[in-house]
Structure 1
């Protein structure tokens, strides 16, 4: 019996052609076609102009986080070899940010910054880059249940809240999404799991539904997509927040048909090889492309569910990556990668769509960072931050659906051995020794030099001093790293 045509994404694969072969065919033709598509998309983008908050009914909020997706890993951001038609369409229907940033250059701190609206270094858990190994069981390494989060604050104004996918902000028994404001969740606690066996680096099974182990050995991206679609199709009596946290395209490098690879890696991990899932002896650019394109198709299905249920107009969709790309990512012309405070480690694709409040087909070069979205989304929903936990994120709502006035304030990053601060076109970057003494510092003009190769510190000493002092003032308010802190994967 011939195979039914796929409904994933806008382009159904022909009957009789396997999904795996179809993905390969798409990848093989992407170099020319996708470059042309990206150029066409850019040609139709207009400079940003603000919309207007529609008032009345509170919007649904869907936040989709990709894992270790690099700044240029979407065709709408310039990838010459990756086809992402669903995310490209999302950008055409909304706003594409050219200077969107992650709250940190690794997983846990960025997620903490999204959920709390604060610099990661304000929480002890945010000092782990990321939470892994012994830190995962540390009773202090997580978002404290009493700390307000985006979910708990939205729930206080009538929202239903769900999370599907990667949490990575602390482990049971002390921490979980259910303890931090989410009504329902299905996902993993650790930073990475095998896509089929759900085994984490420590060799333990790591897929939970509402804090109880949940058995499902299908491809992880499919599980999360299925659950998200099911939720969208429920009869909703309340506005809702959904955090859809894919692990794609994080290691291990497994596509939907790679059960044999999964079996090998799982056997190693459960035998005590804690580095097996890093998959340093596997993967390829072609496999990475397959994983990204599969995620794009999955996101297309979720967006289609919004259209089919007529919830798309008043649903805010925010798509981001949690940090810069890794081994097989494409980030040209940026320098650096995940774990760096250089642009390649912190600049990420960022797309916002809200048809009821913001016109589509726009591009913004306003620098925005993960923690900004917490107060911004609260404002859209008619909620307010908790004054007992002052936010570092800037409320972008006046810029997006108000006067159009850009928010004030610098963007700041600190990782264990690096730091950065952005003000307008200028970026200060610093590298530290273990004793926090300065090893190297630089000043870059990001408008003229996105690649951060021209160090203008000697030419602009006044700017350098101003930004250095601004960075130091913020850094002095944060918690100190514990002895021996290092950056991880």
Structure 2
């Protein structure tokens, strides 16, 4: 199916208006064929964080309407953490197969031989875009623009330090976001939908809320400030009510933005020809009401991996359908491709299955005896359509005991043994055997800009991160000449690179001389301008953050041009002269290929 084969019926003329820095398109009333795809992914939203699942602490009418007009999965599973789930959705494969082993310092990256759902849809003429949190690699070709997406606006890290007017990426450039981050991502997604309404599109809206920091506009928080929280966490762990209040406000903001997306589809006449998917990437990020399930984010128990999932396609997916077939994020790629009639040849076998017959109401189950695994840091659980074997080898009947309170291994020994063998097979076939030694790639002609954030660097000496969580941190406490920072990089294209450091420096420390070196080449420069903005972000926090860095602005400084050979090695940054008490704080290094020769790595 090529772009030219798409049937179009245009009712109005499309115009584009410029509003600030964002091009805002108007609707044509287009009804297109084949179907568009709109994916909305929440971050750290639990199964119980929606009113459609019985939580009356909050109201999520737009997401509830999606469920009323489409299919609601009763048992839908993801991974216990963010990056693994995103990789499973994108590839249809369990995350250890894809190279994703964690959530930061490079462990979140998908191997470059993985084939993504965006590549499959782009190959047949779909316009593809992602707005929001990527979290599967920052440097090209791990970058979303190297994985099948034509447009990217958001951030590539695992979490972000500020949600109001934040620094973001637009394509390969650092820009300033406008307003609240979830609203901003929605603005850009709506603009994309309107600009591409006369052709099929694949739009991935990857929100980063209600992940911490707990920041949300007043108009959503006012309802919950000091409010009684009637439905509470059922377990022995302590629920932080202030945390819960902030999360509920953030979830209502997500719902409001989902409503804006749905209204944009309606205005453009695209409702009936757009498949909308809504799901979350793991269980709740705190102890709060979650339907009595055991576990939370990070756990392989039900509460950590069972999340909302809704799919609407009017006229095709029956309204009000309740899917009892167990399903998972790995199923979305083959299922959506089948629904849209998109054929593809994935180079690697998928773990997910095509659930389109269930969604189209043709059959109740596709694979009655299937198993779904959840993995986190060596802990594995496995479930079938009735039982779960948890990571400690205990068996629970989820139909009778969804809270996992009574071990039934003695009652069903054959089931327990069968599932134990399945776990051993999963370990042997899926879990990686070797340590992750992948470098960070630099210097592709088709994507000449490479960012090396503090997250991916290694501090030496006194230098330390600004927070325990590396994702949105910066390097600080650089106090003597023996201190250094290194990045393990592999240069793809030999050539001349402009090297820029994003720094802060107090007035009394001006005069710091920095040297960057790689494979015997080096470049030096002196910091001559002070730039010492205050730490901020805390002024928006509804609950004080723990372990995550606060943020500040950083100033770009062109250190110079360095000749880099096409090889692997350590890029090292040192301070050759520190006239004051300390050198600089560092957020990232930017390398831009200015001119390259033909000695590129394969």
TM-score w.r.t. the length of structure 2 is: 0.61
2:101 aligns to what? 127
Q: Which has the larger radius of gyration?
A: 2
- When structure 1 is superposed on structure 2, of 163-172 and 236-245 the one drifting more is 236-245
Query: Counterpart of 1:400?
Result: 359
Q: Aligned match of 1:410 in 359, 368, 371?
A: 371
Match of 2:284 among 309, 315, 325: 325
Report deviation, 1:169. Answer: 0.2
Distance 1:339 1:214 in 2: 32
Q: In the alignment, which residue of structure 1 is the partner of 2:193?
A: 232
Q: Following the alignment from structure 2 to structure 1, what is the Cα–Cα distance between the partners of residues 113 and 307? A: 30
Match of 1:95 in 2: 71
CA distance in 2, matches of 1:412, 1:476: 13
Instruction: Assess if the C-alpha contact under 8 Å between 1:253 and 1:283 holds in 2.
Output: no
Cα deviation, residue 57, structure 1: 2.5
Q: 1:281 to 1:413 in 2, by over 3 A?
A: closer
Partner of residue 164, structure 1: 131
Whose helix proportion is higher, 1 or 2? 1
What is the rounded CA distance, in whole Å, between the counterparts of 1:348 and 1:76 in structure 2? 12
Structure 1 match to 2:456: none
Indicate which of 385, 404, 411 corresponds to 1:459.
Answer: 411
SS in 1 for 2:418: helix
Of the three residues 305, 316, 324, the one matched with 1:357 is 316
Residue matched to 1:118: 93
Asked whether the 8 Å contact 2:155–2:169 carries over to 1, the reply is: yes
State the Cα distance separating 1:366 from its structure 2 match: 1.7
Considering fraction of residues, name the structure with more strand. Answer: 2
- Tell me the equivalent position of 1:336: 295
For residues 330 and 372 of structure 1, what CA distance do their matches in structure 2 show? Answer: 27
Q: Is the 8 A contact 1:58 1:380 kept in 2?
A: no
Distance (whole Å) between structure 2 residues aligned to residue 198 and residue 142 of structure 1: 27
Q: Distance in 2 between matches of 1:156 and 1:174?
A: 17
Q: Report if aligned partners of 1:127, 1:481 keep a CA contact under 8 Å in 2.
A: no
Q: Cα gap change, 1:70/1:401 in structure 2, threshold over 3 Å: closer, same or farther? A: same
Match of 1:189 in 2: 156
Cα deviations across residues 265-323 of structure 1 (Å, max 9, x unaligned)? Answer: xxxxxxxxxxxxxxx99953222211111111111011011011110101100100001
Query: Mapping of 1:352-391 within 5 angstroms?
Result: 352-391=311-350
Contact persistence 1:341–1:419 (CA under 8 A): yes
Q: Does 1:67 align with 2:43?
A: yes
CA contact (8 A) 2:197 2:268 kept: no
CA positional deviation for 1:481: 6.6
| 2:380 maps to which of 416, 419, 444 | 419
Aligned-pair distance for 1:83?
0.7
Is 1:410–1:421's contact at 8 Å kept on the other side of the alignment? yes
2:55 to 63, 74, 79: 79
> Is the alpha carbon distance of 1:309 and 1:197 closer, same or farther for their aligned partners in structure 2, counting shifts above 3 Å?
closer
Cα displacement string for residues 303-359 of structure 1 (whole angstroms, at most 9, x for unaligned residues): 011011110101100100001011164312101000100000000011110003111
1:232-253 CA distances to partner (integer Å, 9 max, x unpaired)? 2225332111100111111001
Is the CA contact (8 Å cut-off) linking 2:98 and 2:114 kept in structure 1? no
Structure 1 residue 221: deviation in Å?
Answer: 0.8
Superimposed CA distance per residue, residues 29-57 of structure 1 (whole angstroms, 9 cap, x where no aligned partner): xxxxxxxxxxxxxxxxxxxxxxxxxxx92
Provide, for residues 367-389 of structure 1, a one-character-per-residue CA deviation record: whole Å limited to 9, x for no partner. 11001011001111222342421
Counterpart residue number, 1:4: none
Report what 1:108 is aligned to: 83
Secondary structure class of the residue paired with 2:337: helix
C-alpha displacement of 1:187: 0.8
Distance in 2 (alpha carbons) for counterparts of 1:379 and 1:310: 23
Change (3 A) 1:306 1:197: closer
Structure 2, unpaired ranges of 5+ = 1-31, 220-238, 438-468, 471-546, 548-602
Distance 1:189 1:111 in 2: 12
- 3-state DSSP class of the match of 1:248? strand
- Aligned match of 1:208: 169
Given that 1:111 and 1:169 are in contact with CA atoms closer than 8 Å, whether structure 2 keeps it comes out as yes
Per-residue deviation, 1:135? 2.9
Give the conservation status (yes or no) of the 8 Å contact 2:178–2:184.
no
- 1:235-274 equivalences in 2 (<5 Å): 235-257=196-218
| CA displacement at 1:80 relative to structure 2 | 2.0
**Compared CA separation, residues 403 and 216, structure 1 to 2 (3 A):** closer
- 1:472 corresponds to 2:424: yes
Query: Paired residue for 2:596?
Result: none
Is the CA contact 2:70–2:311 (under 8 Å) kept in the aligned structure 1?
yes
Query: 2 CA distance for matches of 1:481 and 1:220?
Result: 39
RMSD: 2.5
Aligned-partner SS, 1:441: coil
Q: How does 1:146-157 map to 2 (within 5 A)?
A: 146-157=113-124
Q: Is the 8 A contact 1:160 1:239 kept in 2?
A: yes
State the alpha-carbon separation in 2 of the partners of residues 422 and 353 from structure 1: 26
Q: 2:256 aligns with which of 297, 300, 311?
A: 297
For residues 481 and 454 of structure 1, do their structure 2 counterparts lie closer, same or farther at Cα, with a shift above 3 Å needed? farther
Partner Cα separation in structure 2 for residue 421 and residue 364 of structure 1? 20
**1:403, distance to aligned residue in structure 2 (A):** 3.0
Alpha-carbon separation, structure 1, partners of 2:313 and 2:242? 36
Select 1:346's aligned residue among 292, 305, 312: 305
Cα offset, 1:257, TM superposition: 3.8
Normalising by structure 1, we get a TM-score of 0.75
Q: Residues 328 and 292 from structure 1, CA distance in 2 versus in 1: closer, same or farther, beyond 3 angstroms?
A: farther
Measure how far apart 1:211 and its partner are.
2.1
**Against the structure 1 CA distance between its residues 458 and 484, is the aligned structure 2 distance closer, same or farther, given a 3 Å change threshold?**
farther
